[in-house]
Amino acid sequence: MTTAFVLSGGASLGAIEVGMLQTLIGRGIRPDLIVGTSVGALNGAWLAGGSSDADLRELADLWRGLTRSAVFPAGLLTGFTGFVGLRNHLVSNRAIRKLLAQHLRFERMEDAPIPLHVIAVDVLTGKDVRLSTGPAVDAVTASASLPGILPPVVIDGRALMDGGVVNNTPISHAIELGATTVWVLPTGYACTLSKVPGSALGMGLLGVTLAINQRLALDIERYESVADIRVVPPLCPLDTSPADFGDADELITRAREQTATWLDEARVAGVGQADLLLPHAHG
């Protein structure tokens, strides 16, 4: 039996995956391989390099210290040149690359202690691309390069961008890689926001997370008869914008505790898990 962890995208909501991972690893549930996209590629890369309780506490501390400006450093000149068509992005990816270079424990994808595969999208063809070899910083940055916000990354002559555009939670790749049990870690979406996001970044990320979860629900329905799919329930209700990095501690704690309760109640598998991600709102 081969166990895969599949981690979805969701910008700042990636903190939720950290809490889920703390509980899963703490209960002895460990992956034989990891597939991630977007922020799930970042969390997956950390896990691939170190999966002890101490490693995950360090990842949680990193998330607690993140700010929006550290991830998406807004520069007036870059933003203006992107807006008027002189560049194809609004924000440099230098901050993300620096973060990865400082914290990744392996230089090449194939050197990861736990096999790691990240998903990006070919800008010209629209097809998803699985990156399993080559420089890790380049691969993870490509998977997390939100179109229009961060620049695409050129790998082997192909311009690549955020894998969430086509295949946000790449269950299909995990199954192609031989996984028989797939633990899906979705970030969910802000189902109880009280007001419309006040920034272009916030609006863009909110729209992406809504699309992500609808695609994920379809993928779960498609593949839960093919493999043992176990969807860790996302947080609900949730009122944190995917552009807001200030709630990381709360998100990690809630996800850790909720995942523990879910495991204790033995709700680890079953048909109909896609319902967890269907669009809804709270009155």
Domain assignment present for residue 282? The answer is no
pLDDT of residue 5: 98
Structure-block tokens of residue 175: 């199954």
Q: pLDDT 10s per residue in the chain (283 long)?
A: 999 999 998 889 999 999 999 999 999 999 999 999 999 999 999 999 999 999 999 999 999 998 866 676 654 334 444 443 445 557 888 989 999 999 999 999 999 999 999 999 999 999 999 999 999 999 999 999 988 788 999 999 999 998 876 665 689 999 999 999 999 999 998 888 878 877 777 787 887 787 777 778 888 888 988 999 999 999 998 999 888 999 999 999 999 999 999 999 866 555 578 777 776 777 5
Give me the CATH number covering residue 191.
3.40.1090.10
Domain assignment present for residue 283? The answer is no
Question: How does DSSP classify residue 244?
Answer: -
pLDDT of residue 138: 98
Domain assignment present for residue 49? The answer is yes
- Residue 12 · residue 245 · CB < 8 Å: yes
Q: Number of folded domains in the chain?
A: 1
**Helix intervals (H) in 9-93:** 14-26, 39-49, 53-65, 68-71, 76-83
pLDDT of residue 189: 83
Domain assignment present for residue 278? The answer is no
Structural Rg of the chain based on CA atoms: 17
**Cα(117)–Cα(130) distance, integer angstroms:** 6
Domain assignment present for residue 219? The answer is yes
pLDDT of residue 86: 40
pLDDT of residue 64: 96
Domain assignment present for residue 82? The answer is yes
Residues of the chain by 3-state class (helix, strand, coil), percent to 5: 45, 15, 40
Closest by Cα among 171, 99, 110 to 141: 99
Domain assignment present for residue 280? The answer is no
Query: In the chain, how long is the greatest CA-to-CA distance?
Result: 55
Phi then psi for 187, rounded to 5 degrees? Answer: -85, -20
Instruction: Give the type of residue at 46.
Output: W
Instruction: Give the type of residue at 119.
Output: I
Closest by Cα among 98, 95, 103 to 70: 95
pLDDT of residue 84: 39
pLDDT of residue 89: 54
pLDDT of residue 269: 58
**Cα(188)–Cα(216) distance, integer angstroms:** 10
Residue 62 burial by Cβ neighbours in a 10 Å radius (0-12, 13-18, 19+): middle
Q: Look up the domain containing 40 and give its range.
A: 3-273
Domain assignment present for residue 281? The answer is no
